[in-house]
Chain A
Amino acid sequence: MTSNTPILKVENLCTTFRRGGVALPAVRDVSLSVGKGEVLGLVGESGSGKSVTLRSILGLSRRYREVTGSVEWKGRNLTAMPERKLRRIRGRDIAMIFQEPMTSLNPLLTVGMQLTETLKAHTGLPRAARRARAIEMLDHVGIPAAASRLEEYPHQFSGGMRQRVMIAIALAAEPKLLLADEPTTALDVTIQAQILDLILSLADEMQMGVILVTHDLGVVAQTCEKVAVMYAGRIVEQGAVRQILGAPRHPYTVGLMQSVPQDLPPRTPLYSVPGTPPSLEALPKGCAFAPRCQYRSETCLTARPPLEAVAHGRSAACFNPIAAERGDAA
């Protein structure tokens, strides 16, 4: 399922904000790819550039940032594409789900209107067929009594139901790629499980690629095939989920995993990476993680480690990666 050619190929994506003449590099040299039906997880702490990466792929609010590098979609580079053409890709080929189901729906329009609006923009369906399709979509994402709920407004739905509506809208035009920005962070674990199951089954059914941004490693373990770990705007480790979570090589990934209280004697101190992430205004000259890293050497402080293959199918950006153990396929 995963060995197909990528549908989206991002290369050396850089996004820079400017504030009072100071350049803030939010995303630096991010390269990733997603294949048909493949789910890629993007993890990292707040401010590591996960969401900005997603937004840069779709060219959202370009006015405020400089984006370089290439986002290759069906042989075309989205970063160089004019807004007018991009609009035809957004929603039709590439759809996005935002983090907050409470604020991303228009409170003044019925759910049915918001669903059919997408269909009107991206498909040639006549009115009656659009309505039928909207009902079908709501039904598909598990909203009971879909036909009667089309006339309702977002405030009449609970958080989990609103997120389902968002997913229904995103998927209405049958996109080939779904960008999901923390789709379950605001929801309870029980609802989270339902929503993730839904996204997975749809990815499988519609052979849709998914980039799932999250900060919960458990979610990554349970839903993704590949994962990319971000720190201070860069990908520091990337590869198959089983490999990365089974035997992380980058010290930051190790720290992130150890912070999760699992399989620990109760009430013992939890591991936490010392220090705080660097501010974008004052990124260290060498490796951004070096000031917090217990394995740092002289080189780490002066040179930036490139993201290089450390084993088959996985790469890490570190001069002193953790030694391979537990039979990590080399």
Chain B
Amino acid sequence: MTQTVMEIRDVGLEFRLPRSLADLARNRPGRVVKALNGVSLELKKGETLGVVGESGCGKSTLARCIVRLYAPQHGSIRFDGQDIFTAAAKADRSYNRRVQMMFQDPYSSLNPRMTTGKILAEALRVHKMRPEGGIEGRVAELVDLVRLPQDAAGKLPHEFSGGQRQRIAIARALAVEPEVLIADELVSALDVSVQAQVVNLLLELQERLNLTILFVAHDLRLVRHVSNRVAVIYLGQIVEIGDSETLFSSPSHPYSQALLSAAPSLDPDDKGDAIRLQGELPSPLNVPPGCPFHVRCRHATAFCKTKVPALRPLPGRGEVACHHAEEIIENA
């Protein structure tokens, strides 16, 4: 359980926007979206790491970096001790097999013209998981594994509901017997009761196959439920990371506090402390200097505007990136 399978160090990624006419007229360079600003985290064998944050904070970008859909400009990602962005690693397809991604939208992530059986068989063939004769049997096994009806292999994606499609996506990811699953908003598009079914399936398969999961989602209740550890991301930086129960029951960073208190409780009498965040997420085109959260933070001081806080461990809690974490906890 404690063995580190993936080590992400100081990963940074910027997207350059094409120079607009206004930029050309003023003779200035094109603008830059700072999607990730020095993200570091470790994935341990068999754990589920939840990643939460508002839209546009870099959650999905991080997930895509991990599966090499984007190449970060700074930092490194190591899997099993090996940097995944070296030329030798890129030529090696086994990484693609061992780390699999599942996407948010069950309607656009499956080829509408391929039957479930073909979708699964393709994954098996590309990675030569089974000899040609064994493919049919394995497809049937996979369909069974994610509890789809046996005739599912012959059907096209449009014949399935959203929940069933996400099961196909899970089966496709599991077809190649991966060690790490990256679930990017896997159940966000589904109704609660369907969500519950897919989450149950994922938890059960994780137990059985000893999978490591990075669970990116914006539903905080769900992340709390499935994760062992949780990372809170704000404007491309991790502001807090730690044990899921500790973080959710007593968040240390003012942003985590505000984010958690914004999730509506099922109890009408529990109005919460309602720490309402003022304003919106600043644009990643224009990340504020110093602590990126200072413009919305109740506790911000002049110091926060100048110096970026580093992620540091707090006794009895996880790691927090806040200059004033101790005082905030004490006064809470």
Interface residues of A (CB under 8 A from B): 45-46, 158-161, 188-194, 196-197, 215-219, 221-223, 241-242, 245-246, 255-257, 259-262, 264, 266-267, 269-273, 276
Contacts and interface: CB of A to CB of B under 8 A. Distances in A.
Contact of B262 (A45, A190, A246, A273): A190
Contacts of B225: 261, 264, 266-267, 270
B276 A218 contact: no
A229 B56 CA distance: 33
B196 A259 contact: yes
Q: Which of A160, A219, A221 has the most CB of B within 10 A?
A: A221
Contact of A189 (B192, B227, B259, B268): B259
Interface stretch (B116-124, B197-205, B322-330): B197-205
Interface in B217-262: 218, 220-222, 224-228, 244-245, 258-259, 262
B102 to A, nearest CB: 18
A194 B276 contact: yes
Contact of B266 (A158, A159, A188, A221): A221
Contacts of A259: 192-193, 195-196
Nearest to A218: B264
A218 B263 contact: yes
A197 B276 contact: yes
B266 A245 contact: yes
B132 interface: no
A261 B268 contact: no
Contact of A255 (B193, B228, B263): B193
Contacts of B281: 188
Interface residues on chain B, size class? 35 or more
Contacts of A261: 196, 199, 221-222, 224-225
16 contacts: A45-B194, A158-B280, A159-B55, A190-B258, A196-B264, A197-B276, A215-B191, A218-B221, A241-B268, A245-B266, A245-B267, A259-B193, A259-B195, A261-B222, A272-B200, A273-B193
Contacts of A188: 54-55, 218, 281
A215 B199 CA distance: 18
A160 B282 CA distance: 12
Contacts of B264: 189, 192-193, 196, 216, 218-219, 221-223
B193 A256 contact: yes
B161 interface: yes
Contacts of A161: 280
B271 interface: yes
B277 interface: yes
B190 to A, nearest CB: 9
Contacts, number: 116
Given A190-B280, A219-B264, 16 more contacts: A45-B192, A160-B280, A188-B55, A188-B281, A189-B220, A189-B259, A190-B277, A194-B277, A222-B268, A245-B266, A259-B195, A260-B192, A262-B266, A266-B245, A267-B48, A272-B193
A190 B54 contact: yes
A192 B196 CA distance: 23
A257 B266 contact: yes
Given A259-B196, A272-B197, A192 B266 contact: no
A262 B163 CA distance: 21
A242 B191 CA distance: 23
Contacts of A264: 225
A264 B248 CA distance: 13
A1 to B, nearest CB: 15
B266 A260 contact: yes
Nearest to B245: A266
B193 A191 contact: no
Given A260-B221, A270-B225, A272-B197, A218 B191 contact: no
B267 A221 contact: yes
B195 to A, nearest CB: 7
B262 to A, nearest CB: 4
Given A160-B280, A261-B222, A276-B161, A192 B271 contact: no
A262 B265 CA distance: 9
B274 interface: yes
B199 A270 contact: yes
Contacts of B220: 189
The 6 A-B residue pairs with the shortest CB-CB distance in the complex, in nearest-first order = A218-B264, A272-B196, A261-B225, A270-B196, A222-B264, A259-B192
Contacts of A196: 264
A267 B203 contact: yes
Contacts of A216: 264
A200 B228 CA distance: 36
The winner among B203, B204, B264 for most chain A CB atoms within 10 A is B264
Nearest to B55: A188
Nearest to B198: A272
Chain B CB within 10 Å — which of A192, A266, A271 has the most?
A: A266
A241 B228 CA distance: 33
Contacts of B54: 188-191
A218 B193 contact: no
B106 to A, nearest CB: 13
A197 B261 CA distance: 14
A161 B263 CA distance: 19
A75 B264 CA distance: 37
B226 to A, nearest CB: 6
B141 to A, nearest CB: 22
Nearest to A144: B279
A160 B274 CA distance: 19
B218 A266 contact: no
A192 B266 CA distance: 15
B66 to A, nearest CB: 22
Contacts of B221: 218, 260-262
Contact of B200 (A160, A241, A245, A269): A269
A267 B206 CA distance: 11
